[in-house]
Amino acid sequence: MTTQSENTRGLPSDAFDVVVLGGGSAGERAAQLLAAAGRNVALVEANKVGGECPYYACMPSKSMLRSAEVRGLVAHAQDLGAVSSDLSDDDPDAAYALAVARRDRIADYRSDEGAVDGLEEAGVTVVRGSGVVVATRAVVVDGRELTWTDLVISTGSMANRPDIPGLSDVPYWTSDQALTETQRPKSVAILGGGPVGCELAQIYARFGVDVALIEASPKLLGAEEPVVAALLADHLRADGVRIMLSAAVSRVSSGGAGFVIEFDDESMIEVERFVVVTGRSPRTDALGALALSLGDAGQVLVDERCAVPGQMNVWAAGDVTGIAPFTHTANYQAEILTTNILGGSRRADYRAIPRAVYTDPPVASVGLTAEAAEAAGYDVARREMDLADLARTSTEGSGSGRLIVVLDRAQGVVLGASAIGPQADAWLGEAALAIHARVPIAVLADLVHAFPTFGEAYDVPYRRLAEEGDRAIDHG
């Protein structure tokens, strides 16, 4: 039961066992678990309970990607022997409108009413508003003070705005706008070749939009395996995406078509819409009174227990920690800190957190790339499998794909895996388990995969790596 009084600042004050500051994926999950364990919990959220994922990110984007994927299948239906005549003659505006309608249904029309009801039924007090930490063990929300025994920081992140002349003066979109607007643009430029930029590029391109994907570095997907990133670029180009790598934007302005984008090499393009997806930064503006020591990227630092060092009974989870900023990481961290708040002892292990880009075909990775493993000092063995050599690739008519497995020779265990190919986001789970459980390569090499499946892609890399390990032992 909440105890209400008046504090020394003359504000009404409510005491809680736990105050959860931020109601995104991590905050919602932590609040549910703590309330179920009998704790008196308040969750503070100014926007949507559930965060970006259900309303503006994961769910709407995956809905649109599925629609785009089916359009891709329809375009190849005759090649696959499914129909006798071409089905691809379609009105893209009408199709896009149907995809948007489905997107909005799946995103619950961006209403968090169900999420709020679920929390309140579980016993959580949902407090609408922007919470600010004003003192040790006190958060103020619109003139109401909440005190805590434990504080969970789950304030999430915000979209970056790059320092480009003219950008602040034009109505560019973030991914939020791109995934909530209803009209299909005729042309779009997307700044940022990470997962979100690649997904949006394919969605637009498969609905007949003229797309330019602009990336300042020499490759897509940041630090992911170069071979995998290059294959994704090939697939996007096949969809009609113009990929501009090592491209530095010098200025953005309004133009006849909508936007004029100028580059350092004095070239320029004109597009109807401009989408900026250059990453996100932790949101920590409400935490000033805690006097936290933030990380280099402005993140709240946490230990393996998801506790904030130097603070008493303060915990953090989700994007604000800067660790593997995905919904599944946020939920995992919420479970870790909940166990520890309740008196348990659980430590996070981030070695096998999967990463995915839900394009067609999808990209999936887990653990370390070969470059990252070498930089960390491991004795690295790296082996690839071309999915074109699989029987399932032939029956699917899915074209090129690749699996890369990275091994620590010294210990004979997998350090990382990266793949691009049909359903890669599902079958890469095998590698995630191998990394998490430190399964010996000899055991993995003896595993039998069903025929014909994409899981057979592991057979050759595993066996070659196991044979190399056997030879190393013989020579040792």
Q: How far is CA 19 from CA 125, 267, 305, 362, in A?
A: 9, 52, 18, 38
Domain of 332 in residue numbering reads as 3-50+112-159+281-341
Helices 25-36 and 327-341 pack at an angle, to 10 degrees, of 30
Same structural domain, 295 and 223? no
Q: Is the separation of the CB atoms in 207 and 182 below 8 Å?
A: no
CB atoms within 10 A of CB 471: 10
Let me know if residue 61 belongs to a domain. no
- Whether the Cβ atoms of residue 346 and residue 334 lie closer than 8 Å to each other: no
Q: Which of 278, 301, 319 lies at the terminal end of a domain, its last residue?
A: 278
Q: Are the CB atoms for 269 and 189 separated by under 8 Å?
A: yes
Whether 70 is covered by a domain: the verdict is no
Identify which of 380, 356, 410 has the alpha carbon closest to the alpha carbon of residue 228. 356
pLDDT tens, residue by residue, 353-364: 999 999 999 999
The Cβ of residue 143 has, within 10 Å, a number of other Cβ atoms equal to: 10
Q: What pLDDT was estimated at residue 85? A: 87
pLDDT-derived band at 291 (thresholds 50, 70, 90) equals: confident
Residue 173 domain flag: yes
- The CATH number linked to 25 is 3.50.50.60
pLDDT tens, position by position, 46-85: 999 999 999 999 999 999 999 999 999 998 888 889 999 8
Residue 327 has pLDDT above 50, yes or no: yes
Q: How far apart are CA 411 and CA 389, in angstroms?
A: 29
Q: In whole numbers, what is the pLDDT of the chain averaged over residues?
A: 94
**Helix/strand/coil for 280:** strand
Give yes or no: residues 154 and 293 share one domain. yes
Task: Specify whether the CB–CB gap between 39 and 332 falls below 8 A.
Answer: no
- 237 half-sphere exposure, CB direction, 13 A CA radius: 10
What gap in Å lies between CA 302 and CA 330, rounded to an integer?
13
- The answer on 255 and 375 residing in a single domain is no
pLDDT score at 475: 44
| Structural domains of the chain, count | 3
Q: List pLDDT tens digits, range 128-166.
A: 999 999 988 999 999 999 999 999 999 999 999 999 999
Task: Please state the φ and ψ torsions of residue 323, each to the nearest 5 degrees.
Answer: -100, 115
Question: Is it the case that residue 34 has pLDDT exceeding 90?
Answer: yes
Residues paired with residue 173 on neighbouring β-strands, in sequence order = 275
- Phi and psi at 133, nearest 5°, equal -75, 120
Structure tokens at 413: 């265990």
pLDDT greater than 70 at residue 450: yes
What's the Cα-to-Cα distance from 383 to each of 121, 402, 466, rounded to whole Å? 51, 11, 11
Give me the pLDDT at residue 334, please: 98
Is residue 145 domain-resident? yes
Same domain, 273 and 288: no
Whether a cis peptide bond, with omega within 30° of 0, leads into 165 is: no
274 within some domain: yes
Do 432 and 329 share a structural domain? Answer: no
Exposed/middle/buried for residue 312 (C-beta within 10 Å: 0-12, 13-18, 19+): exposed
CATH number of the domain to which 463 belongs: 3.30.390.30
Alpha-carbon span 205 to 209, nearest angstrom: 5
